Amino acid sequence: MKGWIIFSIIAFCSIIVIDKITKLILRIPKVNGYLGEKRVSRIIKRQLKENEKILNDYRFKTRDGKTVQIDHIIIKTNGIFVIETKNYTGIIKGKESQLEWTQISRANKKYKLYNPVKQNENHIHKLIHHLQQNLTVKSLVVFTKADIKSLENIPNVCNLKEMKIILEEKSTTTLNKNQIEDLYNILITRKENIKDKEHIKNIKIMQENIKNDICPHCKVALIIKKGKNGYFKGCSNYPNCKFTKKI
Ligand SMILES: [Zn+2]
């Protein structure tokens, strides 16, 4: 009898400890991001027709040595989609033109995030360069959990439910089985094995450049300009590069 009581207490405590550890692990951004990407990829896979393809966590290097990581590339009959998954919680606020958006957590704390629409456009631009193909790619930013009601007017930003509908939308340009297969093979051969460590190092260099008023894409100085919403810093390579930074 005594043995059973001790066993029960140990079992009960273990469950609490495991639960606490699980919650802590889920708070690690890398784990959280990974789980979000897995979830999105599972949902998309279920939706794909037999000859349609998906590539997850697609990585490559640009000619100037920058690393690019794309969450999902989907090649469907109705088009090519590049998806950026955001597994944030809380409320997300931002405008299409802003460089930084805000996440308001459940504890009412505010965090900055780089505008994911711009981030994904930049990924697509680099991908087209990398593949040297004349492709029409549709950009999608998918928030798996967050409240994105205030982002309603921003095109290409959606939740999981909306993503499923957008992926089925009819398109004027369609791809046949061979075209899908060809593009998939090009993507596979041009995919590179880049370690997380290298990718994170590259992101840090990019952030450092922005801080020092250097365009992260062209490595030239950012200069002060005047727009309709006041002064801002922009790349001196404009109009070839449209990078901007708030003052
Ligand atoms: Zn630039």
pLDDT digits (tens, 9 = 90+) for 79-99: 999 999 999 999 999 999 888
Tokens matching residue 38: 């897995």
| Domains and their CATH numbers in the chain | 2-194 (3.40.1350.10)
- Give the Å distance between the CA of 20 and the centre of ligand 1: 45
Distance 17 CA to ligand 1 centre (A): 50
pLDDT of residue 26: 63
The amino acid sitting at 51 is N
Distance (Å) from CA 74 to ligand 1 centroid: 28
Sign, CA dihedral 43-46-49-51, equals positive
- What is the Å distance from ligand 1's center to 218 Cα? 4
CA nearest neighbour of 83 among 114, 50, 44: 44
pLDDT recorded at residue 140: 97
Ligand 1 centroid to Cα of residue 25, in Å, is 38
CA 207 to ligand 1 center in whole angstroms: 14
Task: Supply the pLDDT for residue 125.
Answer: 93
Angle between helices 2-26 and 29-47 (to 10 degrees): 80
Among 45-59, 112-126, 186-200, which stretch is predicted with the lowest mean pLDDT?
A: 186-200
Closest CA to 165 of 65, 87, 78, 86: 78
Q: What pLDDT shows up at residue 193?
A: 86
Q: For position 27, what pLDDT does the model report? A: 66
Enumerate residues 6+ apart whose C-beta is below 8 A from 210.
Answer: 216, 245
Residue 239 CA, ligand 1 centroid: distance in Å:
9
Segment among 44-58, 116-130, 233-247 with least mean pLDDT: 233-247
Average pLDDT over residues 131-156: 92
Cα dist from 78 to 29, 50, 188, 196, whole Å: 33, 14, 20, 32
Reduced to 3 states (helix: H, G, I; strand: E, B; else coil), residue 85 is strand
Q: How far apart are CA 54 and CA 57, in angstroms?
A: 10
Q: From the CA of 117, how far away is ligand 1's center (Å)?
A: 17
Ion ligand 1 neighbours (CB, 5 A) are 215, 217-218, 235, 237, 241, 243
Task: Compute, in angstroms, the gap from residue 132 CA to the centroid of ligand 1.
Answer: 20
Distance between Cα 94 and ligand 1 center (Å) = 23
CA of 238 from ligand 1 middle (Å) equals: 7
Q: How far is the CA of 202 from the centre of ligand 1 (A)?
A: 16
Res 32 pLDDT > 80: no
For residue 85, the number of C-alpha atoms closer than 13 Å in the C-beta half-sphere is 27
Task: Say how many Å lie between the CA of residue 215 and the centre of ligand 1.
Answer: 5
**Centroid of ligand 1 to alpha carbon of 220 (angstroms):** 7
Percent of the chain's residues with pLDDT above 90: 54
